[in-house]
Chain A
Amino acid sequence: MTIASASTSPEGARWGSVRPTGGGVGIRLLVGSKRLLRSRRLVLGLVVLAFFVLVALVGPHLVGDPNAFVGPSMAGPSARFWLGTTMPGQNIFYQLVDSTSGTLEVGFVAGAIATLVSVVIGIGGGFVGGYVDEALALFSNVILVIPGLPLIIVVASYVRSGGLLPTILIISFTSWAGYARVLRGQTLSIRNRDYVLAARVAGEKAWRIVFVEILPSELAIIVSNFIFMVVFAILTQSTLAFLGIGDISTLTWGNMLNVANNDEALTSGAWWWFVPPGLCIALVGTALALINFGLDEVLNPRLRVYKAPKGRP
């Protein structure tokens, strides 16, 4: 639960205490690069993610038309149709491969936009301070407590234009707030540290202080937030698509599940139709979560399991 309130929280203290003043995450990544590859979680996560990115890039060129009606209705897996067919007789394996890029695109683009917004509002507000900061913090907190999915559903009922872009925009708009809050708390605690004050006294420009002194020391949190937001965006897009909201012309894993559910795949026992797309979403999500935990393991010494202090059960 990283969303604890600013400087009084144990969470803030935890981040604060492991972060050497000035150093920045880059240096520690270099120093810890051996450990980086020794983290099995991180390596496993990277391998799985790389596999899916590869499938997204080259997969669609290797398989046939995913929308063509090529086989019998709802046939089980066979040598000809590896994952069986849909109700109208489309090749499910082709659909699965073709959906990869759309799903990843929503995840990474929405994650990037949300990260950018949270950095601008969180670090910007925390650095500028005063009424601007108070107003931005209030805005973040309001966005945070308004439940996202119902809002998305209602907005989607009004905006029915095509493409994945509306989905991407609305997911990023509703998901940045929690992380902006974390970044603001962190910035508030960093901006008064000696090295930042020294930079001010030395007459450095504001943008330089933000980009050279503050931003690098929050990079670990930002990267971690980005990864979580990619997972969140993928899950939200899948949920929306499954519920039949938003664009249904682009093939994604969520859309496959929506069609499967509408065509009674469940009550026909066609598990080969609704199991693989969900499994792919779960695998991508797990890979990203593993990368995050792996990075945390490397960067946060307190979470390392096998070096527990002696004398404690």
Chain B
Amino acid sequence: MRYIARKLGFYLVAAWAAITLNFFLPRLIPGNPVEILMSRLDQSGSPPAGEAHRLSLLLGLGGGNIAAQYWHYVDALAHLNLGISVTDFPVPVSQVIASTLPWTLVLVGTATVISFVVGITLGAIAGWKRGSWIDSVIPSTTFLTALPYFWLALLLLYLLAFVYHVFPLNGGYSPDLTPGWTWAFLGSAIYHSVLPALTIVIASIGGWLLGMRNMTVTTLSEDYVVAAEAKGLSPRRIMIGYAARNAVMPSITGFAISIGFVVSGSVAMEYVFSYPGIGYELLQAVNNEDYALAQGIFLVITLAVLGANLIVDLLYGFIDPRTRQSR
């Protein structure tokens, strides 16, 4: 199908752009990143032989002209040679990423979906019952979306963990448990994730609510809604099948775009809660001048966001038949 091919093509271009951007980043630094990285690795212990050479290839600073450097860089990426982490010496970067990514994906993914579904539902109701009490609550969500997310998280952490000990202060699980598929560990992990998830939902729900409310109000004045009313369909059916179904389209496009912002928000979230996810790892990498790890994480986050976008786009083509016809 042309729509799918078009979308796949676009995301391939986007992925190539991200990989190329990543290639040029180390050139921004005044000094030599490979030397800095090697001296830091030497401080941490003895890096394996030939690591300097592998790093220079990975950071796109190997021998030859820029085309050869680019080729070696892509070659290193293709073989998942992402270098060795300074922060977690001597664990390879790919392994650090593999152990931190699931934490972020599960927590942030669940919280985002909850926020989207609840926000869209409330928004549709608010738009439908325009002028009722739920509609008058909407302006206060303005305040919620203008809050700096990390500050909201700090406040909730202060109130619910420091003043009232409802939730733990930090971490992803109780420190006296070892990670594994045990009930005790899973329970602890879930207990530690409730507050972070709550902060994400509170911070992001206002945007969905307002967007959906306004789209519902706009959709309600469309002719097909009036026609449905004239036919004597039940209000419930008009609201869900006619108004909400059409009003939700821009929100789904917005959902795809928001995935990137969600990942960005998760960096702040993980910093506030010292959560063992990929964003927290990224900050530590940056603070430790751990270039290999920082770039590896940037690449993985970007590719994950692109993948999620692709899925939403394909779903959109499935939900909205017009996108399939018009192109």
Contacts and interface: CB of A to CB of B under 8 A. Distances in A.
A156 B147 contact: no
Given A239-B268, A266-B154, A282-B147, A153 B253 contact: no
Interface in A264-300: 266-267, 269, 271, 274-275, 277-278, 281-282, 284-286, 288-290, 293
B217 A157 contact: no
Nearest to B325: A8
Contacts of B282: 150, 153-154
B220 A289 contact: no
Please tell me the size bucket of the interface on B: 35 or more
Given A145-B14, A266-B158, A289-B142, A3 B257 contact: yes
Interface string A5-43: 100111100100000000000000000000000000100
Contacts of A243: 150, 267-268, 271, 283
A8 B152 CA distance: 37
Given A278-B154, A285-B147, A313-B235, A150 B250 contact: no
A238 B147 CA distance: 11
Interface of A: 1-5, 8-11, 14, 41, 138, 141-142, 144-151, 153-159, 178, 231, 235, 238-239, 242-245, 254, 257, 261, 266-267, 269, 271, 274-275, 277-278, 281-282, 284-286, 288-290, 293, 302-303, 305-306, 308-309, 312-313
21 contacts: A2-B250, A4-B254, A8-B326, A144-B260, A145-B14, A145-B257, A146-B21, A150-B267, A150-B297, A151-B302, A153-B267, A153-B298, A156-B286, A239-B148, A242-B148, A243-B268, A274-B154, A278-B147, A285-B145, A289-B142, A303-B217
Contacts of A150: 263-264, 267, 279, 282, 297-298, 301-302
A155 B28 contact: yes
Nearest to A278: B151
B268 A242 contact: yes
Given A305-B130, A306-B131, A148 B298 contact: no
B141 to A, nearest CB: 10
Contacts of B41: none
A305 B220 CA distance: 13
Interface in B230-278: 235, 246-247, 249-251, 253-254, 257, 260-261, 263-265, 267-268, 271-272
B271 to A, nearest CB: 6
A23 B221 CA distance: 24
Contact of B250 (A10, A269, A289, A302): A10
Interface string B8-37: 001101100110010001101100010000
A282 B129 contact: no
A154 B286 contact: yes
Question: Majority SS of interface residues in chain A?
Answer: helix
B295 interface: yes
Contacts of B265: 149
Which of A149, A154, A312 has the most chain B CB atoms inside 10 A of its CB? A154
A278 B148 contact: yes
Contact of B301 (A147, A155, A231): A147
Nearest to B33: A158
Question: Majority SS of interface residues in chain B?
Answer: helix
A282 B141 CA distance: 12
Given A145-B260, A153-B286, A309-B221, A293 B142 contact: yes
Given A150-B264, A157-B286, A239 B149 contact: yes
B199 interface: no
A237 B143 CA distance: 18
Contacts of A312: 130, 220
Contacts of B305: 145-147
Contacts of A308: 130-131
Contacts of B169: 267
A167 B29 CA distance: 16
Interface in B92-148: 128-131, 135, 139, 142-143, 145-148
Which of A14, A149, A238, A244 has the most chain B CB atoms inside 10 A of its CB? A149
Nearest to B220: A312
Contacts of B139: 41, 293
Nearest to B29: A158
A281 B219 CA distance: 34
B89 interface: no
B253 A266 contact: no
Contact of A144 (B214, B251, B257): B257
A142 B26 CA distance: 21
B130 A149 contact: no
A201 to B, nearest CB: 29
